[in-house]
Amino acid sequence: MYGKTGPGTVSYERAFFRRVILSLLFFILITTVISAEEFELSSKSAILMEYETGEILYKKEPDLELPPASMSKIMTMLLVMEAIAEGKAKLDDKLVVSEYAASMGGSQIWLEPGEEMSLEDMMKAIAIVSANDACVAVAEYLYGTEELFVKRMYERARELGLKNTYFYNTNGLPPDNPDVQGNYSSAYDLAVMARELIKHRKVLEWTSTWQDYLRDGKSVLNNTNRLVRFYNGADGLKTGYTEEARYGVTATAERNGVRFISVVMGNDNSQDRFEEAGKLLSYGFGLFQGLKIASEGELVETIKIPNGKEEEARALIENELIIPVRRDRKDEVSKVIELDDRIKAPKKKGEKIGTMKIYRGNLLIKEVDIVIDRDVEKASFFKIFARIISYQINSITGLYQKD
């Protein structure tokens, strides 16, 4: 019965209020704006990266090679999302679980040999509860064997320029044989992987979910990342723990169009990893703000289309553009409009006709498409001819008037 106490026990009410107080203290701590000089991280390795540019704002032993544990799954998820983007797989594909995939230990969703589950549900299980068995299942589905998938993980790391990463398996579990090299990575490499993964925004829908269900509600998925619930703007990304690796987290948060990625590795307890990842994120948000450069549908200029049935159309910004800038360096930002040299009909509404590029100093930090606001059909030969004659007459008339 709730509230019953005895030797070595705590009442339900006291335990509840204790959790509430600890959660509030945790939230206050990680949302406080601090300076880099105040950092005293217990993490063996840590980094803070601004998402848009990849600028490093804080680092502590960023290239130290350490076991990443389940943070290895950032690369596993990246390969799956890239396969989907390339049309090699779909989220509603049905996967049949092998006996080997079902044999994985550690964090899992208890897959059974022969069980069928959609690729999307497998990805939810990886993203939310760090399911080791689901990692192997998706690897086998895409590449036939986990070994071939892991080979591609290593190749992709090299394509991203990562020099301190090695993969033994898809999920970060340590090898059974202590003489075999297991997965290793670094805070910097994990931040780069995370930055690449976040380009696939569907992943953030899963990693920001605090609780979900599989198997028609029979299986509960509780997110392993506490920041998602307690840190303003946090929407991912991946926790990790093994006895060898200790505690780590690759975290990301976005506020007002500004996103940061923080990585901490080698913490002695779970609470520390979340507090320290939160400190890093708060430091970033204290330094930067989102600067709105353009609104969706904003007019750039009216353009001429000499061979169009309609001679004029409007060039518009396709999407809202917000960029991260340091609060004391707004004047470093500049924008450049680049419209196509010769815009000719026919054109379809929404078709790209140029680009707006945003620079911070000489560094290109973001760009957005400029599109045409309407369909423009090609004018007939006779209409174009009449238009040319009209131009000539107006030109001559203008000369006489000037004389």
Q: Which residues are catalytic?
A: 70, 73, 130
Distance between CA 379 and CA 385 in Å, rounded?
10
DSSP letter assigned to residue 265: E
Look up residue 210 and give its DSSP letter: S
Cα–Cα distance list, 255 to 204, 235, 288 (Å): 14, 11, 10
Cis upstream peptide for 178 (omega within 30°): no
The number of C-alpha atoms within 13 Å of 127 and in the hemisphere containing its C-beta is 30
The torsion angles phi and psi of 26, rounded to 5 degrees, stand at: -60, -45
Query: Which of 366, 204, 357 shows the shortest CA–CA distance to 290?
Result: 366
Q: How far is CA 196 from CA 156, 226, 334, in A?
A: 11, 22, 26
Give, for 283, the enclosing helix (H) or strand (E). helix 270-287
Return the structure tokens found at 337.
């409009």
Q: How far apart are CA 148 and CA 162, in angstroms?
A: 19
Residue recorded with tokens 């940061």: 260
Place of tokens 């923080």: 262
Closest CA to 247 of 48, 23, 44: 44
Name 47's bridge partners.
59, 263
For tokens 């910097």, the residue is: 188
Per the document, the length of the chain is 403
Coil vs helix vs strand at 359: strand
Tell me the sheet residues that pair with 302. 314
Beta carbons of 266 and 42 less than 8 angstroms apart: no
265 token code pair: 């590795």
- Give backbone dihedrals phi and psi of 135, rounded to 5 degrees, phi first: -60, -45
